Chain A
Amino acid sequence: MGATLPLFIRKINMDRIITAYSHITENKVIVNDRLIFYQENIVNFADFVKIVYKQEMINYPRFYKMDAISKLGFLAVELVLKEKTIAGYRPEAVGVIMSNSSSSLDTDIAHNETIKDRSSYFPSPSVFVYTLPNIIIGEVCIKNKIKGENAFLISEAFNGKLLCDYADELFDNKRVEACLCGWVEVMGNNCNALVALVETADRSADSSGSGFKPMLFNAENMNFIMKRN
């Protein structure tokens, strides 16, 4: 490609840790290293997220109104926050940084279908509103009363370094005390979501009783989780 990734220089902060994470791929859900869902023959994304939603006994009727990417991101965040609550933080102290490759293209195509035929021209406001990738951040913030820093970044492939560098800047300058960081990608029936809750060591004491050993928050570990599962 002839281009290098941005070179960021900063000292590694040992105090920032991933206190919980979830990783969802086509037919598999992993939370804090535990496989909580796996089914061989799932081909349909809509069915898959619905089964997981029901299995986890989440009760949030708005879920059904969301587009695919918001459903996926919402689910990934719910699974993380079930493991580790953020209730102890001020709403403004929690940030959300998300990223993906295709922005909202999956839903863009759906909106485009509604305007293709001039004789049946019915653009739908509830589809159009999801033609922005950061709506997933909005959904997560509404559900969990999060009011802090937001950013939605686009890269061709998962870029743990970019996410970590930006999140580190927010922590370094005390803009956040906790941050949900991740990747939420859906295209047709293909999906991939990784969401990590990042906290500082001093605030993470009441960690989950599930035996998950918190990991240092850095690009290597984010890339490791993404590749391993």
Chain B
Amino acid sequence: MKPVYILNDNMITSLGFTTAENILAIKKGTIGIRTVNDPLLYPNPVPVSIVNDDLLNERLGEALADHHKTSPSDAFTRLEKFFIISIHDVLKNSPVEKGDPRTLLVISTTKGNIDLLEDRFKSKFSHKRLYLWELGRVIQQFFGFVNMPVIVSNACISGVLAIIISARFLQSGAFDHAVVAGGDIATEFVISGFQSFQALSPDPCKPFDLNRTGLSLGEGCGSIVLSIHPDTSRTPLVRVSGASVSNDANHISGPSRTGEELSWAINQAMEQARVSPREISYISAHGTATLFNDEMESKALENCELSNVPVNSFKGYWGHTLGAAGIIESVATISTLRSNYLYRSAGFDTLGVPSPLRVITTNRPGEVNACLKTASGFGGCNAAIIYQKD
């Protein structure tokens, strides 16, 4: 099968607007989750990782200027701004032509422009903008991509699944390049829903920790350029070497009690990548910090003989960013791979899951050649992907 390479990436979170800004903040140990007291977001104060609006508009202005666009910044929804800034950044330094019919655009989001259901936006944007394909069309037309975007909305695995779908379409020979972007914003819609599930932690989330009390929500966006043509000017080359998706067939919101189905996806991905558990040198887990998710993941990793591999969850830094999560966490994973430097799992102190895990507690150098990224979500879905140095 054709190798699929990662050419370029970007991520936007409360910690920064580029991959480099975010990685620098992680190195410094900055936590982006803060208690926000904003009645437009939720009636009560709630810990959440929020991107600063002034900075967002400033970065948007730069992107608009670079594209010689005269459209006013308020012509775009908040989420569209995220996507425009992120995709603009990955395209800036990549050889990929947007107008090339061999370039595919794939968008991942769980809720899209869901804030437009709020009364305050009703007069500003048409109802049509609530449709995810319309969000996709706005982005496609802004950049001038030739092909209609493929839009993936598959709960919390959306981001990882979007990368998997892109890689598969590249491998099948249908396209040469893919720009995969995923984003979601923090809204009252989502916060109130997770709150009704009693899933939100009163403090910044603590993945895999004994004292974890639930997840923290965040917002963000990430973009990755995939290609069947390696960019030899940027070494080490990183490629997607295996991927798989599974379903628990157990419960629509609660994860599998055994982790067997996530294990199956991980094993399939490793088999496809032709790597053994011993060759995996780092795992970027889903790690939402809910009681049952983290339990399930620990069991799944043990089933796959991966308990001894250094593992972290990036959600301790910027929370659960839903449709962006799989992309931005992949970007951070790829950064780990490129730099041979492992990042501490923020919020973690004492192991509190039924199966052993080697959670990374301090930033440190460590050689990484092949690594695993996983995701699991509502609807019982699981996804696993292997990134590897060439």
Contacts and interface: CB of A to CB of B under 8 A. Distances in A.
A121 B43 contact: yes
Interface residues of A, number: 60
Contacts of B154: 132-134, 137, 150-152
B39 to A, nearest CB: 8
Contacts of B193: 111, 123, 125, 128, 131
A172 B111 CA distance: 32
Contact of A142 (B161, B188, B380): B380
B152 A151 contact: yes
A166 to B, nearest CB: 7
Interface in A84-136: 91-92, 96, 101-103, 105, 108-109, 111-112, 114-115, 118, 121, 123-125, 128-129, 131-135
Interface string A154-181: 1110000010011011001101000000
Contact of A154 (B151, B174, B253): B151
B125 interface: no
Interface residues of B, number: 63
B379 interface: yes
B169 A8 contact: yes
A14 interface: no
Contact of A124 (B148, B161, B188, B196): B196
B173 A9 contact: yes
Contact of A102 (B131, B188, B195): B131
Nearest to A10: B172
Contacts of A134: 153-155, 377-379, 381
A43 B390 CA distance: 59
B151 A172 contact: no
Contacts of B136: 154
A137 B379 contact: yes
Contacts of B251: 142
A118 B40 CA distance: 11
Interface stretch (B21-29, B58-66, B242-250, B295-303): B242-250
Nearest to A144: B249
26 contacts: A3-B145, A3-B146, A4-B148, A8-B172, A8-B174, A108-B130, A121-B192, A125-B193, A129-B197, A132-B377, A133-B153, A135-B378, A137-B379, A141-B380, A142-B250, A142-B251, A145-B249, A147-B249, A147-B261, A147-B264, A149-B246, A150-B245, A151-B154, A153-B152, A162-B150, A166-B168
Considering the complex of A and B, which 3 residue pairs feature the smallest CB-CB distances, nearest first? A138-B379, A128-B193, A123-B196
